[in-house]
Amino acid sequence: MSESGSIIYTDGVTVSFDGFKALQAVDFYVDHGELRALIGPNGAGKTTLLDVICGKVKPDSGRVVFGEATELHQLEEHDITMMGIGRKFQTPSVFKNMTLFDNLSLATRHERGVFANLFSTLNRSQRDTIMSTLNTLGLEDKAYEQAGVLSHGQMQWLEIGMVLVQDPTLFLLDEPVAGMTREEREKTSALLQWLAKDHAVLVVEHDMEFVRQTADRVTVLHEGQVLCEGSVEHVKSDPRVVEVYLGRG
């Protein structure tokens, strides 16, 4: 545990829904430049933890601290986004009848907090950022095609790109490889590893093969509590993890 090196930490975070504790006094951290995976059975509280970090859900008690000393739990969701926490949601936010370029253009403007206006001109550096993002995603040859033509996997990458153009300090992803082919999962793994070169990344994922390929460290959540943390090999060999999660096949 390295609180000084962490970009974000939660301190005793508890969240209840109608008396049911989805998170129970969770202490959790992500270090600068780390690529952390969050795993655990359905209902463990993984999505709720992301919701607390990005401000969508407020904790009943506990603190969420970002950077030097920013108390995120006291801020609104929009302000948290502006502070550099980007989230790729499971639900799509792409406009299918707009080009890839225009989708990324809207996301770029969102960063500036300006009301989205597609017809104002982007400056050179914004255009360059969009093209280099498309290049990173392997979608540059589709820049001026409508997003509706993309495969499921490509659509997910575009969604990642829409967060990436906002250049978040901490990048949150909830089950990004669900429904992807093996080849698409491998490409996504490489993409996240590339992202982690200059962003901290926290990814919720079920696919253990993907987690093994991708993450530096893994946190296992179970019934709203941190059960175990460490390298993939470490958590896989923990009998409690095998019992509650991996053993269930």
Ligand X SMILES: Nc1ncnc2c1ncn2[C@@H]1O[C@H](COP(=O)(O)OP(=O)(O)O)[C@@H](O)[C@H]1O
What number of chain residues touch ligand X (CB under 6 A)? 10
Is residue 26 within the footprint of ligand X (CB under 6 A)? no
CA–CA distance from 66 to each of 46, 126, 130, 163, 242 (Å)? 19, 27, 27, 18, 32
**Which tokens is 74 given?**
């006291």
Answer for which of 13, 22, 160, 220 binds ligand X (CB under 6 A) is 22
Other Cβ atoms within 10 Å of 29 Cβ, number = 19
Tell me how far, at minimum, the Cβ of 48 lies from Mg ion, in Å.
8
What's the one-letter identity of residue 129?
T
Is residue 48 within the footprint of ligand X (CB under 6 A)? yes
Cα gap 113→2, rounded to integer Å: 34
From ligand X, Mg ion, none, interface partner of 177 (C-beta below 5 to 8 A by class): none
Answer for which of 6, 47, 103, 133 binds ligand X (CB under 6 A) is 47
Tell me how far, at minimum, the Cβ of 197 lies from Mg ion, in Å.
27
Cα gap 209→219, rounded to integer Å: 15
From ligand X, Mg ion, none, interface partner of 123 (C-beta below 5 to 8 A by class): none
From ligand X, Mg ion, none, interface partner of 97 (C-beta below 5 to 8 A by class): none
Q: Where are the alpha helices (DSSP H) in 123-167?
A: 124-137, 152-164
Is residue 87 within the footprint of ligand X (CB under 6 A)? no
User: Site residues for ligand X, window 2-21 (CB under 6 A)?
Assistant: 17
Sign of the dihedral defined by the CA atoms of residues 58, 59, 61, 66, in that order: negative
Judged by the rule CB under 6 A, the positions of this chain that interact with ligand X are 17, 22, 40, 42-48
